[in-house]
A and B are shown apart, each in its own frame.
Chain A
């Protein structure tokens, strides 16, 4: 019994470690403008390390009469700017401003700041809170040439040390431990864990099939709870691609030169992600990808984004780094290092790969056709190919295909020229299972 209390303490410690609520703005800077330019561009990176979604609604400064949020759009080689009223940032996600993408437009009224100045900017959020950050004015050319170094320099910050410690953790042992804890049936402890979790993460139990903690036999049953049929309606459009999960978009876009983006200045190859299968990786050349992060409070089942027939399933062993935004920016090739399950489906838009990436504390992943794939206590050391039986497995759009037994990440790959993302899609945006995210073509 003592051991159980120990486990319980461990679990609560980890839950509360997650639970600091704040927004951090990193690397805020303003580009010095050429003379006679009445506007400056500004850039920052916002991390929502809290547990609730936040919305940036305004930015102000005594130095600039007006500040707007703009997005440069590059449509078929033509650049134009669009003004945004707000930026939504789901819990646990980041948004990176960058040239040719999101930027602040600061009207300088003829009084253009020069490199070296430091200017306070106040960021206002929809919930009435605000933070003030110092923006340094830099020459655009300095930033171009020193881009790499300045990025590397940030690896010394405390968040990165906090991330690096994961190299030292016995990741698989912790995950195995978590697997056991989340399957404890002793009700006082099990109910305590579930209640603490619901309170900490503001979990909406009204949409669950079973509302009460005591209705679940284990923590894991609660974690992978099913929702009422009406909670996640599936977009019925025949040309719609739906989000397969509840979560937040981490990155999305074109797969160029066989590479996709993990975070700013960190990319990795499709081949690495797919465990070295170059033939399969080749199918997604110039295609599209999307990475969606599931946070602890989300619904943890994965449903089909589009109707498909299972072609293959491959289990690739690996590390179990956390997949939260800070880790994603720091550890190279994160998604190609972590344990993952690659499922390939044949659909109306060609082959679609749906990759379930394991993470620290993800005790296991399951698919509806094969059951549990990655028990943390019986760890496979090699790539496992699962050949399917004679009977084809076809799963309709919106129907469950698998689940994570703790929060993690889903990456989808699509072939070239088969879909168009919704116009308002952006990194950091929260998505809901069943809602359209792209149009098939």
Chain B
């Protein structure tokens, strides 16, 4: 017959072993990430692409170029307002990322940008109405085809207008990825769909932490 005392001691030892093993596992993982930065998901490093100047118009009609990227981290998504599924879902995730990061002290300053790839329908006034839905957390950018291409060609993405239906409607193929620019206007992160608030927040935190240690 095993005494009560022995039983308690054994369970305590077992519990300690389990906690110890858990901590060990955790710390191994932790140190692995910090010593092997290339394992940060989405990180584009080394040699991140330095963006050159471009000139777009924001939804308030003000010019928006490379200058407006300096000094902030920027989350960037390309889409169009007539897109019912992927675009509003992604933008609502970005809105939540922006809201939650603003509430956390010590987080880097972040701006969220939506660049239209359908300038024909997404005029400045249309974009202003559309983007107001996201509670002022996202800035919408538009301009002429050439102006938009100045930015998309640097990031290396394509957008293609689909065939036009009899009623004049059409869809646009565009990248579903979200991009991260650092405060020096360098392309340092790319995240592919499907997007989630938690994944984007942890990616931004990890990447900004990593880059602040590099420069």
- Of the candidates A39, A72, A100, A141, the one whose C-beta lies within 8 Å of that of B82 is A39
A144 touches B93 (CB 8 A): yes
**Is B67 on the interface with A (CB-CB < 8 A)?**
no
**Is B158 on the interface with A (CB-CB < 8 A)?**
yes
A100 touches B193 (CB 8 A): yes
- A70 proximity list for chain B (CB < 8 A): 85
- The 0/1 profile, CB within 8 Å of B marked 1, for residues 40-76 of chain A is 1100000000000000000000000000001010100
Report the Cα distance A140→B86, complex, angstroms.
11
A79 touches B86 (CB 8 A): yes
B171 touches A81 (CB 8 A): yes
A99 touches B89 (CB 8 A): yes
A100 touches B176 (CB 8 A): yes
A41 touches B129 (CB 8 A): no
- Of the candidates A35, A40, A74, A81, the one whose C-beta lies within 8 Å of that of B130 is A35
**Is B84 on the interface with A (CB-CB < 8 A)?**
yes
B89 touches A140 (CB 8 A): yes
**Is B197 on the interface with A (CB-CB < 8 A)?**
yes
- The 0/1 profile, CB within 8 Å of B marked 1, for residues 302-329 of chain A is 0000000000000000000000000000
- Of the candidates B129, B174, B177, the one whose C-beta lies within 8 Å of that of A36 is B129
| Distance from A419 Cβ to chain B, minimum over Cβ atoms (Å) | 21
- B193 proximity list for chain A (CB < 8 A): 74, 77, 79, 100
**Is B96 on the interface with A (CB-CB < 8 A)?**
yes
- A79 proximity list for chain B (CB < 8 A): 86, 173-176, 193
Within B81-124, which residues are at the interface with A (CB < 8 Å)? 81-82, 84-86, 88-89, 91-93, 95-96
- B45 proximity list for chain A (CB < 8 A): none
| Distance from A291 Cβ to chain B, minimum over Cβ atoms (Å) | 20
**Is A78 on the interface with B (CB-CB < 8 A)?**
yes
**Is A145 on the interface with B (CB-CB < 8 A)?**
yes
**Is B205 on the interface with A (CB-CB < 8 A)?**
no
| Distance from A379 Cβ to chain B, minimum over Cβ atoms (Å) | 31
**Is A336 on the interface with B (CB-CB < 8 A)?**
no
**Is A183 on the interface with B (CB-CB < 8 A)?**
no
- A34 proximity list for chain B (CB < 8 A): 81, 88, 91, 129-134
Report the Cα distance A35→B81, complex, angstroms.
9
- The 0/1 profile, CB within 8 Å of B marked 1, for residues 126-150 of chain A is 0000000000000111001100000
Report the Cα distance A39→B88, complex, angstroms.
11
B160, closest chain A residue (CB): A80
- A72 proximity list for chain B (CB < 8 A): 85-86
A100 touches B86 (CB 8 A): yes
**Is A290 on the interface with B (CB-CB < 8 A)?**
no
- The 0/1 profile, CB within 8 Å of A marked 1, for residues 162-187 of chain B is 10000000010111110000000000
Report the Cα distance A145→B198, complex, angstroms.
10
| Distance from B51 Cβ to chain A, minimum over Cβ atoms (Å) | 19
B82 touches A38 (CB 8 A): yes
- A145-B96 contact in complex given A72-B85, A79-B193, C-beta closer than 8 Å: yes
Report the Cα distance A38→B165, complex, angstroms.
15
**Is B46 on the interface with A (CB-CB < 8 A)?**
no
A78 touches B88 (CB 8 A): no
Interface centre among B96, B134, B193, B197, by most A CB within 10 Å?
Answer: B193
Q: Told that A78-B158, A100-B194 touch, could you supply 18 new A-B pairs with CB distance under 8 A?
A: A31-B89, A33-B88, A35-B129, A37-B88, A74-B176, A74-B192, A78-B157, A78-B173, A78-B174, A78-B175, A79-B176, A80-B162, A100-B85, A100-B86, A105-B85, A139-B92, A144-B89, A144-B197
The 5 closest A-B pairs by CB, nearest first: A34-B133, A79-B176, A80-B173, A41-B84, A39-B84
Footprint of A on B, CB under 8 Å?
81-82, 84-86, 88-89, 91-93, 95-96, 126, 129-134, 157-158, 160, 162, 171, 173-177, 192-194, 197
Footprint of B on A, CB under 8 Å?
31, 33-41, 70, 72, 74, 77-81, 99-100, 103, 105-106, 139-141, 144-145
Complex A-B: 19 CB contacts under 8 Å:
A31-B89, A33-B84, A34-B88, A36-B81, A39-B82, A70-B85, A74-B193, A77-B176, A77-B192, A79-B86, A80-B171, A81-B171, A99-B85, A100-B85, A100-B193, A103-B85, A139-B92, A144-B89, A144-B92
